Amino acid sequence: MTSGLIPGEQPPDPRPASGLPHQRHGPVGPGSMPVENRSRSSVITARAAASFEPVGRSVASARSFVRDTLQGWGFADIIDDAVVLTSELVTNAVIHAGTWADLLCLRCDEGVRIEVTDRYPEREVPLQGPAAGMGSPDREGGRGLQLCAALAGRWGVEYTPAHKTVWFQLDVPDRPVGARSAGPALPSELLPIADARVRVAVVQIDRIGAISSWNEDAEELFGYTNDQVIGKPLTDLAAWPHTPGTGTGIAEALRLSRWEGSYGIRDTSGRVVPVYASHLRVRDTDGDPSTVCLLVRDHERAVLQTPLRGPSADSAGSSESQSTDPFEVFIGSPAPDDLDGLLQRTVERARDMLDGDSAFLLLATDDETELEVRASTGLPSARQRFARVPVEAGSGRYGSARMPAVHDDLSALPGAVPLLNGTGMRSVVTVPLKVEGRLTGSLGVAAEGAGRYSNEEALRLQFAADRIALAVESARLGELERLRRGSLSFLVEASDLLAGTLDRDQTLALMAQMTVPTLATWCAVYTIADQASEPYLSYVLHEDEDLIDGIKSLLSKIAPPDPVPAPGARVWPAPGEVAHQAALRSSMRSLGLSSGPSGQVTSGIGPTLTTASAVGGETVVLPLVARNRVIGMLTLGKPTDEHFRQEILELAEDLSRRAALALDNARLYSERTAISQALQRSLLPPELPDIDGVEVEVIYRAAGEGNEVGGDFYDLFPISDGAYGFAIGDVCGTGPNAAAVTGLARHALRLLAREGLSGPAVLERLNSAILDEGARSRFLTLLYGELRPREDGSADLKVVCAGHPLPLRLRQDGTVEPAADPQPLLGVLEDLELYEQTVTLDPGDVLLCVTDGVTERREGPRMLGDDGLADVLTTCTGLTAGAVAARIMRAVERFASDAPSDDMAILAMRVPELHQD
């Protein structure tokens, strides 16, 4: 292949003057092909030429050459038509004529002229017979000149002794002037409904995404004044829909040259206002880009929405234009990457091709047992989208989507095509979409009249379906891959969030927040306490918080779904049915048609019309199964007339399995925590007794999350005759094993002391009991004493300190001294020789007893120690027992920044000072 490009050159005409082309309006003979002379006055501003050898791959090379050339010249609007025409003409030259093809592209001020020259001049245009006999749209060849007549503004054929040239000219549309499109006149009842005044918000966004302009209609629609929003990012107000693995974000949409679609804007009250938007990217005279956004309420989208249209027919209504298959032009254009856009274009072209009133396209699920509605035109698409129908709807070929089918009159066979029930369509033709023999979908066209279609239309539609099936499957697989990647990311994030909490209520909230609005519009979680309990409505969430109470009220009046352990989602029709009945009753009451008094409204009247609309769509239930037991149900819902797509249900099923295990783990953790805390609380004294003439205060801190009792313990209890026993001890270690020895020691002390034994005898018997535990025994440090208040206001103490930090006595003059001597600890030696010491507390004196968690508090290499504790105690002169204990604990906590790693107990006893009258 050889090519050349000379910008700005106006070459001489390469054809001899005698080689005049045929005229469109001046035919050479009867039945001659209508052609026109090319304009000789046009100024050629650029040319590109190439030659192609007579092999099959040259056709694809010619298409690429024309596409690249016109793309470089900036003629994107006419690329598709030029590629289709070039493909047909080069095919005629290199395949049918079997010669080299010379391709010449000329750019002029009117548009683009393309010439295809072959070296077989004997193949002339037929001069006999009608023009329609040039070829059939269903034939492999013979369509080049027909397409020229249908698509080109001017075209012609020139002959020389050695060459034949077919040329065509495509004019660039002048977009700034004239109408872009026009719709037919419609009866008033068919026009879209809008408010009394249609408000169009005009919002301009600068290059960084901030709002630079905000008109009065925007203020009226959303409540914000101009000063409140100027300079703020649009993303602060936009509620963009999120679907795992699919969709374009708001930031990406604002950078596109043109975009249309739906999202939401949060108004001043925080509610989301659904809007339909049309974005246009522009730049000012300085070259700075910005985006102009036109927004209307979503139900008024007809004001802005631009319908997809195919190439317009020739205004002259020539026979060539009428015989050209509209689907041919569509197939010649590249398929869009967006699956929804491709499917929507397909159904509209199919409808136009067969002159139908509606069309629909369904895609098969992975197991090929069901078909899912993905695109439709002329039908209530909001109600039908993602609806599912079986592939084999009946016996015979007409009941299977795997074979083409034509129904002359659906009224004679109700239910033959479930998708069309109640739509008014009577005749329909459906054909399968297959790739390598595998069913991938179904394409159908329907009409309101009976007997509209025959086998001929079925063949034409099947031909179109065969041409588009591979592109549809490729786009579907691309969308599925994006969705699966997004689903995997979604499940990973969900697993991390669910694993991060063991709180039941927080787990329920996380389940709902991950589901709404990513997977559903609303959700409800039912929980089952045990096998004998009924499901209980535990949590309800809707993307609009104002509707949560209404949905909760509605669901509370409906029997919960059956806890079936079967995997997968099942449809639960009860909420939708009850919602519609409630809406009907509410409407009848508003019209005065109910049996009660007119205008009477009682409390608990049921959901409002808004609530009924919110739950009136498809509702599905997924079981929450953990450890082979159904512990609840996850209910997902859509608003009125919407369905779930299969991929979303599969993702919800994966989420329900993870959520069920997290919920059951939270339940088990809560149960075991409650049991542990109840047992631990049983190891603590129920309450401290009131002692006349002595102030007592205790502060206790157990190390470890969820622990109420550890290895440290305390006790204060009455013995007899006005005497009280007190103890503070520390078992080796922390946690439940140490708590077990704590329980043994505390209860043994009470029992032995009340038997009238002295302090040393009590501790010697406790030592024997600990040693009897064998391998489970642990050594124990213990300070035990007996307190007896005296009538003169003092108090006598008998103390035994078995390996425990020594008690400290604080006198009124601020001096601090130990109140006992150290003796052997318990649980190590069998024969102990312990003795008790007597201490008298004068009025105003304080006795402080602590465990080693206080004295061994560390910050790096520093330790509080006995001296540090004594220094703090010297500052407590004149304080009450409660104030002394609080100051000691405050000093311990401030000594180090880390959380305490050991249990701590503080017991402070003070003899109040005597007050003289």
Determine if residue 748 is left, alpha or beta; phi over 0 gives left, psi from -120 to 50 gives alpha, anything else beta. alpha
What distance in Å separates the CA atoms of residue 104 and residue 336, rounded to the nearest whole number? Answer: 29
What distance in Å separates the CA atoms of residue 502 and residue 351, rounded to the nearest whole number? Answer: 56
pLDDT at 741: 79
| Tokens found for residue 464 | 């179109």
HSE of 7, CA atoms in CB hemisphere, 13 A = 3
Q: How far is CA 113 from each of CA 19, 38, 47, 93, 105, rounded to the nearest angstrom?
A: 18, 9, 9, 18, 6
- Burial of 695 by CB count in 10 Å (0-12 exposed, 13-18 middle, 19+ buried)? middle
pLDDT at 707: 58
What distance in Å separates the CA atoms of residue 154 and residue 35, rounded to the nearest whole number? Answer: 7
- Burial of 611 by CB count in 10 Å (0-12 exposed, 13-18 middle, 19+ buried)? buried
Closest CA to 293 of 215, 350, 228: 215
Q: Which helix (H) or strand (E) holds 442?
A: strand 438-447
HSE of 787, CA atoms in CB hemisphere, 13 A = 29
Closest CA to 104 of 149, 167, 58, 12: 167
Q: pLDDT tens digits, residue range 333-384? A: 445 567 777 888 888 888 888 888 888 998 888 777 888 888 888 876 545 6
- Burial of 644 by CB count in 10 Å (0-12 exposed, 13-18 middle, 19+ buried)? buried
Q: Which helix (H) or strand (E) holds 327?
A: helix 326-332
Determine if residue 716 is left, alpha or beta; phi over 0 gives left, psi from -120 to 50 gives alpha, anything else beta. beta
Alpha helices for 548-617 (secondary structure H): 548-556, 574-590, 609-615
DSSP for 482-536, written as a single string: HHHHHHHHHHHHHHHHHHT---HHHHHHHHHHHHTTTT-SEEEEEE-SSTTSPPE
Is-contact 539 508, C-beta < 8 A?
Answer: yes
pLDDT at 594: 54
Compute the 3-state secondary structure of the chain and give helix, strand, coil in percent, each to the nearest 5: 35, 25, 40
- To 10 degrees, what angle do helices 144-151 and 79-91 make? 160
Residue that has been written with the tokens 């579907």 in this structure: 476
The parts of the chain modelled with pLDDT lower than 50 are: 1-40, 123-141, 177-180, 243-247, 308-334, 382, 595-607, 917
Whether residue 244 is preceded by a cis peptide bond, meaning omega within 30 degrees of 0, is no
Q: Which amino acid is at 867?
A: D
Q: How far is CA 160 from each of CA 94, 163, 226, 385, rounded to the nearest angstrom?
A: 18, 5, 71, 59
Q: Could you give the 3-state DSSP secondary structure of residue 764?
A: helix
Is-contact 571 562, C-beta < 8 A?
Answer: no
Is-contact 165 157, C-beta < 8 A?
Answer: yes
Q: pLDDT tens digits, residue range 715-744? A: 999 998 889 999 998 888 666 677 777 778
Q: Which helix (H) or strand (E) holds 655?
A: helix 646-681
Contacts of residues 181-185 at CB distance under 8 Å and 24 or more positions apart, as own/partner, are 181/307, 181/309
What distance in Å separates the CA atoms of residue 432 and residue 392, rounded to the nearest whole number? Answer: 12
